[in-house]
Structure formats: structure tokens, C-alpha cells
Amino acid sequence: MKPFDYVRPATVSDAVAAAAQSGAVYLAAGTNLLDLMKGGVSRPDRLVDVTHLDGLDGIERLADGSLRIGALVSNADLAHDADFARSYPAVAEALLSGASAQLRNAATVGGNLLQRTRCAYFYDTASRCNKREAGSGCDARGGENRTHAVLGWSDSCIATHPSDFCVPLVALDAIVEIEGRGGRREIALDELHRLPGDTPERESVLEPGDLIVAVRLPPAAREFAPHARYLKVRERTSYAFAVVSAAAALRIENGKIAEARLALGGVAAKPWRARAAEDVLKGVAPTADAFQEAAWRALTDAKPSGDNAFKIELARRIVVRALTLAAAGTPARLSALPASPFASTSGAIHA
């Protein structure tokens, strides 16, 4: 492994200063970063370990009804927080459908947002990858790409963002709190990740030294709790990334959809908020036809980036299913196979 500096700052501002230099990266649980380093995909000069910083591991309800989740809260702790799971069931479902129990125990909220793509050509250092090495080319184009992006991709990059967690978060208008050299600021999660365009190496709007310190769910996010689901299609029952996934959340009043939220995962370089589909659903009854229409709207701009045309049809179907499940109501208990099409199968004893 390439030698690197390891620093463990005492305060957030020390951390920001330590990470602002070129070649420095933050280390939280390292569930993605350490693998990248072992594979020579990421070769940082300095690791800034943030795991000992105070005040980043809390889940707190704010006076205005929003919820603030510290960046160092583990995926497992968040998903198993009873109040959290009750208030934001689709987010808990997404968290528990990701990775494995061991990884969820380690992986953090902030790290989840900034995990790198699972594109095999990004990981294979002998391949050309514009994301890994700007301007080198994209070997995923014309390669083995049946799971690659169908939305928002460019000729430079067809990779997807692999997070499950981010999909319901972006549907619920989550806000990201960032500490940077210029102090604290906040942005919508939907604005955190960039589409590749001509600069796929720039995956987010973060500047050097920027540290995600918290994710906030606004007060309105709770109102979807009775009708919120996450659904994920994958190539084995557990421990696999989404081929496609969808988060659907509805606010139903008097038999009509007062407000709909919809986002897709596994389809683009960012969690994909489907606002046009949400608009279709506003004010209509939650019917199969309405959901079909929403699905078509959500995928209007989709196009295959390789051998992956099936993902467009699959994404439409998962939108319909996720909306149908959400309309039926959030189940009282989370399934043993969270977010799985087999969630309701009897005999499912573990994820």
C-alpha cells in the first residue's frame, strides 16, 4: 500500500484545515475507501480520520420538527432507531436493504452519501476511466455495462451512484450540512451529487476540505410516514447493489394524492429525483393508471448507455410497484427482507 499520513484532528475546524490540502481525504468507517486504497484505485497522501470528532454521532429532533442526523451515525444505528424508523420508514427500509449487517454496523451516514460508484471499470485500474483519471476515456462504454446508467449519463461516464440510503433521502428533500473553509453551509442533497457531463471526476459540489457534518430531514418529511416505501431489485436476495430501486412517498388526503415524492436508484450518477412524475400524481386518486403515467414520465428521458435497455422497462415497473405499495400503506413491521420483492414471502427468516 502506498504510504500515507494519518491524522486525527480534535475538532471539526482542525479536520477541515487538515483535509483542505491536495491529496487528503476523510476517513470515517472506510468501508469503501480502504477497499479503493487496497486496489490502488484511490491513492491518497493523507487520511484525516474524523471518527473521533465530537458531536457528529447524534440523532436529534429540532424545534421546527426536522431531524438532524450526525454524519458519524452508523447505518445500522440509524435504521434501528425506533422513532426514526417510524417517522421515515422508507429510509430505514433502504438502509437495511444495503450491503450486509457487518457493513451497516460500520458504515456512516456521511460516508454513505460520498461512496464511489461500483462501475467495474472505475475499480479496474488498467481500464480507462474518466472518473478515476480525468480525460483518460471510458471503457465502460462498449464494455460490460448491463447495469450502468440509463439517465443523466454522458459520453464521458455511464457510472451509477450505488447508495440505497440516498434514494428516499433525496425524495424527502434531505438537506446536507457542510463545514468548509468558509464556515458552515447547507445544500439540498439533490444538489450534492453532480451528473458527469464532461467532468465525471467531479462527483459532488464539495470543495477541498468540505466535511459533511449532518443530514437533515425537513419537518414535512414526516408527513409521508403512513405511505412511504423503498423497493430494490437486485441479483441476489441480500448483499447486492440495486439493479434499479425506487423510493415512493405519498401524502394522501380524502382519497387523493396531495403530494407525491419519487426517486430512483441505480439509474444515474446521482439519486434520481423524478419531479415530473410527482407532478403527474398531484391531486389525483392513487390508481394503477396514475402510477403507470407517473412511471412513463419518470423515464421519459431515459436511454440505454449499453446493454442495459432492460433497466428502463424495469425502472418503470419498479416505480409502479413502489407507488402501489406506498399507496397501500406503510406496514406496521419492517419485513425480514427489507425492500425486497420477496418481503412478503413467508419463510423469509433473514436478510
Partner 1 sequence: MPELNLTSAPAHLRHGSNIGQPLTRRDGVLKVTGQATYAADNHPPGMLFAVIAAASIAHGRVTSLDVAAAKRHPGVVDVMTPDHKPPLAIDPEIKTNPFVFRMEALQSSEVRYANQPIAVVIAETLEAATEGAALLAPRYEAQPPLIGLDAGESFVPPVVGVGNPTENHRGDVEAGLVSAETQIDATYETPPQYHNAMEPHAVVAHWDGDKLSVDMPTQGLKLSLARIAELFGIAHDKIHIRSPFLGGGFGSKGLMGGPPVLGIMAAKLVGRPVKLVLRREQMYGPVGHRAPTRQRLRIGADGEGRLTALDHHARTVSSTFDDFYEPAADASHTLYAAPAIRTSHDAVRVNTGTPLFMRAPGEATGSIALESAIDEIAWTCGIDPLAFRLKNYAEVEPITGKPFSSKALRACYDQGAARFGWAKRPLQPRQMRDDAGLLVGWGMGTATFPALMFQAEARAAIRRDGSGVMEIGAHDMGQGAWTALAQIAADAVGLDIGRVAFKAGTSDLPDAGIAGGSAHTATAGAAIHSAGAAVIAKLADLATNDERSPLFGAGNAGVIARDGRLIRRDDESRGESYAEILARAGVAEVEARGTGAPNPAAMEEYAMHAHGAVFAEVKVDPELSQVRVTRMVGAFAAGRIVNPRMVQSQLFGGMIWGLSFALHEEAVTDRRSGRIMNANLGEYHVPVNADVPPLDVITVEEHDPHVNALGIKGVGEIGITGSAGAVANAVWHATGVRVRKFPIRMEELLV
Q: Which is nearer to partner 1, 131 or 216 (CB)?
A: 131
- Told to check if 255 binds partner 1 by CB under 8 A, we report no
Based on the shown chain and the rule CB under 8 A, indicate whether residue 333 belongs to the binding site for partner 1. Answer: no
Contact 322, 244 (CB under 8 A): no
Note whether 346 and 244 are within 8 A (CB): no
Q: Considering beta carbons, is residue 38 or 185 the nearer one to partner 1?
A: 38
Is residue 5 involved in binding partner 1 (CB under 8 A)? no
Using CB under 8 A, pick the residue from 253, 285, 310, 328 that binds partner 1.
310
Q: Give the torsion through C-alpha atoms of 237, 145, 130, 41, to 10 deg.
A: 40
Over the window 222 to 251, marking each residue x when it contacts partner 1 by CB under 8 A and - when it does not, the resulting string is: -----------xxxxxxxx--x--------
Q: CA nearest 259: which of 184, 173, 150?
A: 173
Which helix H or strand E contains 24, and what residues bound it?
Answer: strand 24-27
Please provide the distance, in angstroms rounded to a whole number, between the alpha carbons at the two ends of the chain: 34
* Shortest Å, Cβ 327 to partner 1: 16
CB 190 within 8 A of CB 170: yes
Closest separation between CB of residue 121 and partner 1, Å? 7
Neighbours of 226 (CB within 10 A): 13
Find the largest Cα–Cα distance for the chain.
62
Establish if 137 lies at the interface with partner 1 (CB under 8 A).
no
Options 321, 326, 330, 334; binder of partner 1; rule CB under 8 A = 321
Closest CA to 324 of 288, 351, 289: 288
Does 6 bind partner 1 (CB under 8 A)? Our answer is: no
Amino acid letter, residue 185? R
CA distance to 48, 121, 164, 178, 231, per residue, from 25 (Å): 6, 22, 23, 15, 32
Q: Which of 11, 23, 40, 188 binds partner 1 (CB under 8 A)?
A: 40
Please report, as a single letter, which amino acid is at residue 171. Answer: A
Q: Name the minimum Å distance from CB 43 to partner 1.
A: 9
Piece in contact with partner 1 (CB under 8 A), picked from 116-124, 168-176, 209-217, 279-287: 116-124
* Bridge partners (DSSP) listed for residue 264: 246, 272
Residues 183-222 that bind partner 1 (CB under 8 A): none
Does residue 344 interact with partner 1 by CB under 8 A? yes
Provide, rounded to whole angstroms, the least separation between the CB of residue 330 and partner 1: 17
CA distance 117 to 254: 42
Q: Which of 327, 293, 301, 299 lies closest to 312 in space, CA to CA? A: 299
Specify the residue, 243 or 263, whose C-beta has the smaller distance to partner 1: 243
Residue among 14, 81, 124, 201 that touches partner 1 (CB under 8 A): 124
Would you count residue 80 as binding partner 1 (CB under 8 A)?
no
* CA dihedral over 292, 262, 252, 226, signed as positive or negative: positive
Question: Interface with partner 1 includes 314 (CB under 8 A)?
Answer: yes
- Please give the Cα distance from 320 to 249 (Å, whole number): 12
Nearer to partner 1, 100 or 136 (CB): 100
Give the helix ranges, DSSP H, for 100-253: 101-106, 109-113, 120-123, 166-171
For partner 1, the closer of residues 13 and 125 by Cβ is 125
With binding defined as CB under 8 A, does residue 139 bind partner 1?
yes
Query: Is the Cβ of residue 283 or residue 331 nearer to partner 1 in the bound state?
Result: 331
Task: Kindly state whether residue 146 participates in binding partner 1, applying the rule CB under 8 A.
Answer: yes
What binding mask, one character per residue, do residues 257-296 give for partner 1 by CB under 8 A, x or -?
----------------------------------------
The residue type at 319? V
The footprint of partner 1 (CB under 8 A) covers: 1-3, 38, 40, 100, 118, 120-121, 124-127, 139, 142-144, 146, 233-240, 243, 310, 313-314, 317-318, 320-321, 337, 340-342, 344-348, 350-351
